[in-house]
């Protein structure tokens, strides 16, 4: 009984935090899911690209005003995503899937070690972005404005993304590539530029995610992106990797669940619960909530 009472007491705050965290997971998860949809590659380096975006912003504001630093950060992050794809994934296009995945793990390893080397591992205070870092009152809880903006912005960006995929020529090419790589190439889809665009969009979303994430949590350190990256990846698998609505639903579900568990005082198990939930879903629906059925070709 007391547990329920306690839960009711902290419910609004936990929900608010959960929705906000969920929005961030969803933004990162989109990067995973889009790449997977086309390349069938788990891009392990995505979480690190997200962290790099945080550091770039930190260093950028020391050299220029914030309104300039934001586009510069986005640009550099996108460039990084593009470069990683060209250098580490493109040469392996015809290699077995395992090799590409190992390459992704290698890139993640490299990016992390580079960050340690360059930043010295000291946790850094993320710069204050005006307006979104302001404090506001909502449901009797004091929080930063970014907490409320995150889910809204996430939904807006996803709608934009869906329009891009359903209505534009690029989107058509992406859908074709994700359905059948070889046929799409035969039909004249420039597969390499489509893949590059996917990485550009994914990195763009990671950069936006990093503004929201670090404005909320305000500390950048080289490994800070690992756990959100892993959670976002779980979210993507949860929703059925390759499915955009799936990633979004998965992100929000995981964000809300783990915050509720923490509010109930079981924070030791919050990560374990996330994974247990994932395994349960996979056992019931082996390709995630919205995933396509795997075809077995003989």
- Which 193-252 residues touch another protein, going by CB under 8 A? 213, 216-219, 221, 223-224, 226-228, 230, 233-234, 237, 241
CB of 187 to another protein, least distance (A): 27
Piece in contact with another protein (CB under 8 A), picked from 7-15, 64-72, 155-163, 244-252: 7-15
CB of 167 to another protein, least distance (A): 29
CA distances from 288 to 7, 90, 108, 230 (A): 29, 28, 25, 16
Contacting another protein within 89-108 (CB under 8 A) = 91-92, 95, 97-99, 102-103, 105-108
CB of 223 to another protein, least distance (A): 7
Which residue lies nearer to another protein by CB, 126 or 204?
126
CB of 8 to another protein, least distance (A): 11
Of the candidate residues 42, 194, 207, 235, the single one contacting another protein (CB under 8 A) = 42
φ and ψ at residue 220, rounded to 5 degrees = -110, 125
Within 10 angstroms of residue 195's Cβ, the number of other Cβ atoms is 22
For residues 177 and 189, the answer to whether their CB atoms sit within 8 Å is yes
CB of 26 to another protein, least distance (A): 15
Of the candidate residues 162, 181, 287, 292, the single one contacting another protein (CB under 8 A) = 287
Which residue lies nearer to another protein by CB, 66 or 187?
66
Piece in contact with another protein (CB under 8 A), picked from 12-20, 153-161, 181-189, 201-209: 12-20
x/- contact string, 44-83, with another protein (CB under 8 A)? ----------------------------------------
In the block, residue with structure tokens 């960050």: 115
Of the candidate residues 120, 130, 140, 188, the single one contacting another protein (CB under 8 A) = 120
Contacting another protein within 249-278 (CB under 8 A) = 259, 262-263, 265, 267-272, 275-276, 278
For residues 47 and 225, the answer to whether their CB atoms sit within 8 Å is yes
Residues whose CB falls within 8 Å of the CB of residue 214, separated by 6 or more in sequence, listed in order: 54, 57, 126, 220
Measured between alpha carbons, how far is 155 from 153 in angstroms, rounded to an integer? 5
CB of 172 to another protein, least distance (A): 26
């Amino acid at each position: 009984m007391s547990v329920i009472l306690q839960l009711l007491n902290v419910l609004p705050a936990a929900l608010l935090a959960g929705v906000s965290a969920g929005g961030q997971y969803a933004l990162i998860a989109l990067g995973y899911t889009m790449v997977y949809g086309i390349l069938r590659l788990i891009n392990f380096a995505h979480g690190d690209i997200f962290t790099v975006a945080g550091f770039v912003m930190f260093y950028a504001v020391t050299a220029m005003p914030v309104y300039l630093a934001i586009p510069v950060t986005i640009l550099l992050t996108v460039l990084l995503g593009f470069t990683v794809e060209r250098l580490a994934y493109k040469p392996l296009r015809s290699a077995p899937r395992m090799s590409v995945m190992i390459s992704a793990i290698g890139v993640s390893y490299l990016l992390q070690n580079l960050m340690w080397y360059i930043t010295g591992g000291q946790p850094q205070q993320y710069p204050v972005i005006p307006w979104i870092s302001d404090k506001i009152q909502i449901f009797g809880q004091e929080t930063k404005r970014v907490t409320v903006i995150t889910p809204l912005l996430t939904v807006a960006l996803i709608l934009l993304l869906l329009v891009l995929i359903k209505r534009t020529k690029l989107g058509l090419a992406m859908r074709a590539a994700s359905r059948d790589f070889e046929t799409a190439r035969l039909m004249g889809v420039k597969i390499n530029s489509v893949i590059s665009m996917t990485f550009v969009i994914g990195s763009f979303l990671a950069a936006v995610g990093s503004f929201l994430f670090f404005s909320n949590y305000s500390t950048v350190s080289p490994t800070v992106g690992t756990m959100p990256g892993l959670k976002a990846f779980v979210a993507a698998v949860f929703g059925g990797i390759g499915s955009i609505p799936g990633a979004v639903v998965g992100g929000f579900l995981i964000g809300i669940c783990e915050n509720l568990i923490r509010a109930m005082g079981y924070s030791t198990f919050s990560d374990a619960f996330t994974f247990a939930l994932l395994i349960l879903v996979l056992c019931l629906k082996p390709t995630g909530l919205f995933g396509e059925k795997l075809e077995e070709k003989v």
